Structure 1
């Protein structure tokens, strides 16, 4: 656990060239019944603002749209990466991967079929259009596992072979089949910003790619890195197994961020 191994993080804490990369939902924002109800608490926002002032790079890599990620934090100086790396916002400009644009008509057609199909008739279902991805949330459904299977079966029947189906915490997502995940975008961030030290924090299945990428880069002596997972009963145990360290909840992430900014020789 992180707080039993703080000495391992002193090298990151004392180097202003460190990069901090984090997921949002379930990591710096507590999971809420619907995406719109989720918030980043003021204390965590304040600690992130301090991280921005202290370290070379602070980035958020989220499954949310990049605009939504920015709305939740509203902090200048952060690199916002949305839809698992398919789009990002830097210096006020939004960038979308070129290959994604080609797939958007197919995605739109699939979304229309879903909106007019059986999935929408399930009580508690919430559909979320995110620009370049589409999420189906079943958190508020009475039988979540049964609903999950129904959603997956319905998506298999779609005649959109070029779209990719992925899963997260109580959601199923439809996205372009671009070879981008949180691991590949982490590697790009490290390369683009010439990071030599990096900490990544996440809580979900989609964060495993980033955890594994950190370990790969460390094994190749490209970075000094650490992967931190936030515990959750909703997430398979193997997610924690892929991380180097863990914290119990979102509040502990906030405490860790404050620790990184306090009592440092570089403060």
Structure 2
């Protein structure tokens, strides 16, 4: 995508969503996943960092819209650190909804608010090593502690897809015994409380802010609920634009998206283009 030009959405609802955002940016919400959307996917999630141009692009766009919300399965504080979001001029309109909305960090206060964690997470965490041992030897598979959830990664295994498929059933059984669910992603299986997803977080955020249009960008299966939330908002009369941060590992989002961009670099280019177009229209109107 040309850094100076906005893409044309491939669907009519997407074109309507983009038009509504540009017509009244001050009433628009921009929702963004973190890993794979603002930050490139890496083998070790602890090494993930936002694309180097992401914060400048967000700082250029955020003051022009009602709010920018980063919605992630990570703890909110971790996403803030890995994103480099704290203390950045221009990011006062940024909110990070961590653990799929269970945690909230606001740039204005710089603090995280959250309810008590689900007790099933601690129980699963204690049993998980034994479950993995009984499921077979998969060297390279490892456990990520996420506070309000726990994830099993297979990307480092010799055969990541085989390990992923072999672990799905035993992890689903473990999760069910403790009142949790398994959310599959890009070579990762996350065990977390039910009823908490990016769609619920995005829908609640839009309702509370009274947004009149919404953009959501994501890259993975965990972003499908957010896509569904935007589709529901559209049917309720709130225009929306769906953006896929494209990859070869997940195709479901690309098939439902209005715009597909080339990974985090493409998302950053889109954010810059939105900010530039809003500025252009504002200058032309004055």
TM-score computed with the length of structure 2 as normaliser:
0.83
Q: CA deviation at 1:10?
A: 4.5
**CA offset digits 1:25-44 (Å, max 9, x no partner):** 11111111111122112212
Q: Measure the CA separation in 2 of the matches of 1:156 and 1:62.
A: 21
Distance 2:115 2:168 in 1: 26
Contact 1:16/1:266 (8 A) holds in 2: no
145-154 or 58-67: which moved more? 145-154
Q: What SS does structure 2 have at the residue aligned with 1:241?
A: helix
Contact 1:208-1:242 at 8 Å conserved across structures: no
Report the aligned-residue RMSD.
2.3
1:31 and 2:48 are equivalent in the alignment? no
Instruction: For 1:8-23, list aligned pairs within 5 A.
Output: 8=15, 9-14=18-23, 15-23=25-33
Please report how far the alpha carbon of residue 220 of structure 1 lies from its aligned counterpart in structure 2 after TM superposition.
Answer: 1.5
Match of 2:243 in 1: 228
Asked if 1 retains the 8 angstrom alpha-carbon contact of 2:100 and 2:198, the reply is: yes
Contact 1:114 1:120 in 2 (8 A): no
SS of 2:177 mapped into structure 1:
coil
2:231 to 181, 196, 215: 215
Greater relative contact order structure (CA < 8 Å, 6+ sep):
2
Contact 2:76–2:97 (CA under 8 A) maintained in structure 1: yes
Matched, 1:172 2:172: no
CA distance in structure 2 between the aligned counterparts of 1:11 and 1:256, rounded to whole angstroms: 16
Match of 1:3? 7
SS at match of 1:16: helix
Structure 1 residue corresponding to 2:152, chosen from 132, 136, 140: 136
Query: Which residue of 221, 240, 258 maps to 1:244?
Result: 258
2:202 counterpart SS class: helix
Match of 2:58 among 48, 53, 77: 48
Q: Give the structure 2 partner of residue 262 of structure 1.
A: 276
**Quick check: 1:13–1:261 contact (8 Å CA) kept in 2?**
no
Superposed, 1:96-135 pairs within 5 Å as 96-97=114-115, 101=117, 103-104=118-119, 106-117=120-131, 118=133, 122-135=138-151
User: Cα distance, 1:252 vs. partner?
Assistant: 1.2
Residues 88-125 of structure 1: per-residue CA shift (max 9 Å, x gap): 22333323245xx3x32x32122122134516953111
Query: What is the TM-score normalised by the length of structure 1?
Result: 0.88
Report the equivalent of 1:95.
113
1:72 equivalent in structure 2: 82
Shift of 1:142: 0.8
Unaligned runs of 5+ in 2: 86-90
Q: Equivalents in 1 of 2:47, 2:33: separation in Å?
A: 17
